[in-house]
Structure 1
Amino acid sequence: MQNFLLRLFDVMFSAFGLIVGFPVLAFITLIGFFDTGSPVFRQERVGRDQKPFVLVKFRTMKPDTASVASHLASASAITPLGHFLRRTKLDELPQLWNVLKGEMSLVGPRPCLFNQQELIEERARRGVFDVRPGITGLAQVNGIDMSTPELLAETDARMIKDLTVGKYFAYIIQTVTGKGAGDRVVKR
């Protein structure tokens, strides 16, 4: 019953967010054309049961940036608009489409790239791929990112095991109010 409720909340909130947030999405897309010429970023990620899906975000880095985890990317690749989008977490808004389609949840382990083999192995060992990846979760609100694969996988597994409707809402509220740093980019 809890899984049904969480999916119902995902569908309701993502649909509501896409409808109500449409003017913001359209405005950021327009500004993004001036920033990079390509405002929407699509990238294949590891989904539930390790199946690939295409994650959609607002572009925060230059279009020619290598396809690597954020902690491996250079801070110099972040665009002026990208700094603002990352700080406010608005770059995540298009993922509401992934949630509505059933590829993601609002709350779950952040989807990794297929080239993050150590993280994939750690998560597979702990059953993390048994659930949909999410926009936010326990690791994100505690500032744990993909630069520490074992700790991230342990945290994801603990969140999945202990997830309740109350914690689902708590992670969302903590994210919206600014708790957690998101994926860190190393200054080089």
Structure 2
Amino acid sequence: MLINQRQVKSRKTYHFAKGVFDIAMSALGLVFLSPVIAVIAYGIKHEDGGPIIYKQVRVGKDGKRFEMYKFHSMVINADQLLSTLKGQNEIDGAMFKMKYDPRITKVGHFIREHSLDELPQLVNVLKGDMSLVGPRPSLPSEVEQYTDYDKQRLYVVPVCTGLWQATERNNGIMLDLMKWLN
């Protein structure tokens, strides 16, 4: 079933309240998580000396492109290596997923396992490019393959935390973080 885009846009009070909530929570998140962010940044820089933040073009609301931020969790030339791994994609569709991706660093494994690589996206929320809850932003190459049904994702602001991150990842984040820091 397709959703009427005008109905989505007409909920102005909802969108305003959600925007205020997103900004307040992301700002608080950045403040309270700053020690964790600092430790992760140190670990990334110490492991391979590469950049701490990875920027990737994604497609957001109404097809607008923006730079999404993540902690750098892969080797420096990971994007170039992707073409050599395409045949090992473990899911159908436009996205690429590989359980044991050789491009991921040691620190990268840890922060991805616990969704900590997503923390810089709180800055995207402050900028208004993303929200805290809803559909994940897509790569332009994924959007090119969208059906009319899939294009409905572009009616709303993309988010930091999607269904997969909330339901499929390990819940023992803080316990594992404390083990890693010791």
Q: TM-score, normalised by structure 2?
A: 0.70
Deviation at 1:138, TM superposition (A): 3.5
3-state DSSP class of the match of 1:111? coil
Relative contact order, higher structure (CA 8 A, sep 6+): 2
Runs of 4+ in 1 over 4 A off after TM superposition: 67-70, 175-178
Give structure 1 stretches of 5+ with no counterpart.
Answer: 144-174, 179-188
1:130 paired to 2:155 = yes
> Per-residue displacement from partner, 1:33-63 (whole Å, max 9, x unpaired)?
1223222100110011111100000011111
Deviation at 1:80, TM superposition (A): 0.4
Deviation at 1:140, TM superposition (A): 4.3
Cα distance in 2 between the residues matched to 1:72 and 1:114: 20
Identical residues among aligned pairs (%):
39
Give the aligned length: 145
- Alignment partner, residue 100 of structure 1: 126
Maintained 8 Å contact 1:32/1:81: yes
Cα RMSD (Å) = 2.4
Q: Alpha carbons of 1:12 and 1:52: their partners in 2 closer, same or farther (altered >3 Å)?
A: same
Match of 1:52 among 41, 44, 65: 65
Q: Alpha carbons of 1:72 and 1:120: their partners in 2 closer, same or farther (altered >3 Å)?
A: farther
> Per-residue displacement from partner, 1:110-138 (whole Å, max 9, x unpaired)?
111111122475422xx221110011234
**Map 1:1-188 → 2, pairs under 5 A:** 1-36=13-48, 37-66=50-79, 69-71=95-97, 75-116=101-142, 117-119=144-146, 122-124=149-151, 127-138=152-163, 140-141=165-166, 177=171
3-state DSSP class of the match of 2:160? strand
Q: Alpha carbons of 1:118 and 1:73: their partners in 2 closer, same or farther (altered >3 Å)?
A: farther
- AA aligned to 2:162 is G
Maintained 8 Å contact 1:25/1:93: yes
> Per-residue displacement from partner, 1:58-84 (whole Å, max 9, x unpaired)?
011111012765416961111100110
Maintained 8 Å contact 1:45/1:114: yes
- AA aligned to 1:128 is R
Give structure 2 stretches of 5+ with no counterpart.
Answer: 1-12, 83-94, 173-182
